[in-house]
Structure 1
């Protein structure tokens, strides 16, 4: 049990066991906390990730540190983080306290210098983010908002918005969700049944696209609404 209690001369296999335990622990924590921690990555999520990484990483670099204490502390912090995020879902007051609010840095085409200073955002950083949003002309911008996750979202003035089929009174085919029917030569029968087709129909579609065998297909998807097929060979 030296891998758990620790020792100055901890053998290599004990480090390997610790690595597996810590990996599985982090995997479970991420699953319990949900996708929010990985996708939105609010400031509180960033703080949590740094602390957890520091706590559970110490036993992997120092063999004389017991494993139980760091895992217990990490579990407590994960529980507190989960509690705060859940409370924020149900209470607007707690949400405003825990999470940062969006900051409008461009309002009706005017750069808000006071808000820029509040956000610690330089003009150079703002211009870079605008370019990343495919906006190079400042006169096209109506609003720019610094979101809680650190990204800037841009709302253009109406006259600079891209035309849509609705603006031109055009009827277009609605797009649906592409279902994977073949992946690396294997049929996904569940998705095939979901769209109401069988293997024979699938083989016919493959033949129409110039393929002879399902094993020759790397990826085949079909739009559930329009029926459009995408196919790519090995």
Structure 2
């Protein structure tokens, strides 16, 4: 019975360690997401999926520590969820949202790829052409504007489609 309880419970001294490591992993991931941009949120290739799984495995191992227990796992998850709720509130009620979230980036204008903007956003020619195909277009020349959104999605405005220039207000490189 003692062995069973050891697998479920956690020593009290480990509680602040788990909370601190979960906070560090959360902040570290937020910083890396800010540095590497919305590209990490785009549709994943098989190698991207492997990297995301590895992020989770490394993060989980660091947060829970050794030995892993049910209580440590629940405490780590609870800490991450509380941090997400707290940062969500900060983003909503303060200027932190602009600091934490990336701006949308114009990557194609009037059928031309904006190479500097693409480089800054960490997206490739292949990413752009994939978005062209997803929009149901046969050529990049049919793209009036393409924007990499903060969510990692690509928005496409077709050539000849009327649009209000205000739609691009706040978009980087416009």
TM-score range, shorter chain: 0.5 to 0.7
Match of 1:78 in 2: 81
Q: Are positions 1:151 and 2:157 aligned together?
A: no
- Structure 1, unmatched stretches of 5+, are 8-41, 162-234
* Higher RCO (C-alpha under 8 Å, 6+ residues apart): 2
Shift of 1:160: 8.9
* Distance of aligned partners of 1:52 and 1:90 in 2 relative to their CA distance in 1, 3 Å threshold: farther
Contact 2:107 2:113 in 1 (8 A): yes
| Corresponding residue pairs, total | 120
Match of 2:123 in 1: 121
Match of 1:215 in 2: none
* Distance of aligned partners of 1:4 and 1:73 in 2 relative to their CA distance in 1, 3 Å threshold: farther
Map 1:63-212 → 2, pairs under 5 A? 65-91=68-94, 93-158=95-160
2:56 to 44, 47, 50: 50
Match of 2:7 in 1: 6
What SS is found at the alignment partner of 1:136?
coil
String of CA shifts for 1:197-216, please: whole Å, max 9, x gaps. Answer: xxxxxxxxxxxxxxxxxxxx
Distance 2:153 2:125 in 1: 15
Higher strand proportion: 1
How high is the TM-score relative to the length of structure 2?
A: 0.55
Match of 2:171 in 1: none
* Distance of aligned partners of 1:133 and 1:152 in 2 relative to their CA distance in 1, 3 Å threshold: same
Match of 2:25 in 1: none
Distance 2:68 2:57 in 1: 17
String of CA shifts for 1:158-183, please: whole Å, max 9, x gaps. Answer: 2599xxxxxxxxxxxxxxxxxxxxxx
Shift of 1:75: 1.2
Shift of 1:78: 1.3
Higher helix proportion: 2
* Distance of aligned partners of 1:51 and 1:94 in 2 relative to their CA distance in 1, 3 Å threshold: farther
Tell me how large the CA RMSD over aligned residues is.
3.7
Distance 2:113 2:79 in 1: 43
- Structure 2, unmatched stretches of 5+, are 9-39, 42-51, 164-174
How high is the TM-score relative to the length of structure 1?
A: 0.42
Shift of 1:149: 2.1
Runs of 4+ in 1 over 3 A off after TM superposition: 1-4, 49-53
Distance 2:59 2:126 in 1: 32
